[in-house]
A and B are shown apart, each in its own frame.
Chain A
Amino acid sequence: QMRLVQSGAEMKKPGASVKVSCKASGFTFSGYYIHWVRQSPGQGLDWMGWVNPNSGGTNYAQKFQGRVTLTRDTSITTVYMEFTRLKSDDTAVYYCATGGPTRHDSSLTATEGASWGQGTLVTVSS
């Protein structure tokens, strides 16, 4: 079945960058958008953006534009989220999640939002 496995927890200083990976398995990697969602401590879910693993195309939420970059490596079915100029209030758990299909294909039947990574805690502290 669809599975997303994320890289481990990170501790960074303010101003640094972090790159979190999300390894996909059990499904057609190019067939589904991958979204990233952030959850600050005790807070709700905040959508950051998506990458189309088929084309490499991206879309980012306005509040993260300019600081987040989503990329993919199709050879290892992995998506990356790089977040720059980190601040203390970027301390959060970052999730990747499967989205809808990237193309019209009757074999792409998985439901949008059905699979999530386990989350990666990024702590930003001096």
Chain B
Amino acid sequence: EVVLIQSPATLSFSPGERATLSCRASQSAGSFLAWYQQKVGQAPRLLIHDTFKRATGVPARFSGSGSGTDFTLTISSLEPEDFAVYYCQLRSVGPPFSWTFGQGTKVEVK
């Protein structure tokens, strides 16, 4: 079973800064890697799917990259509404397939 490691658990930035979040898989993860944003009291929101494809309505400042075991979510210039928790997620190839989540990275205001 693949394990996703997101580190560090918390990152601190000022608005306008560039944020780079890391997600490392314990074995080669293929391309079914997604990123979600979650704010307090809300359901997760899909930002990136298939490693680099932005979901509908997601601003262009969010981008995804990576391959194999190392994946990255980049926020080019942090807006006030971007301070939240971010999770990476993998869908295994299967059968049967399953979902695995990283433990999350909190992006907080410095």
Contact = CB atoms under 8 A, between A and B. Distances in A.
Q: Give the interface residue-count category, chain B.
A: 20 to 34
B47 to A, nearest CB: 10
Contacts, number: 52
A35 interface: yes
A61 B49 CA distance: 22
B98 A59 contact: yes
Interface stretch (B14-22, B59-67, B70-78, B99-107): B99-107
B19 to A, nearest CB: 19
A50 B46 CA distance: 18
Interface of B (DSSP majority class): strand
Given A45-B101, A95-B43, A111 B56 contact: yes
Nearest to B91: A112
Contact of B56 (A35, A47, A95, A114): A114
Contacts of A47: 98-101
B44 A111 contact: no
A113 B44 CA distance: 9
Interface in A69-121: 95, 97, 100, 111-114, 116-119
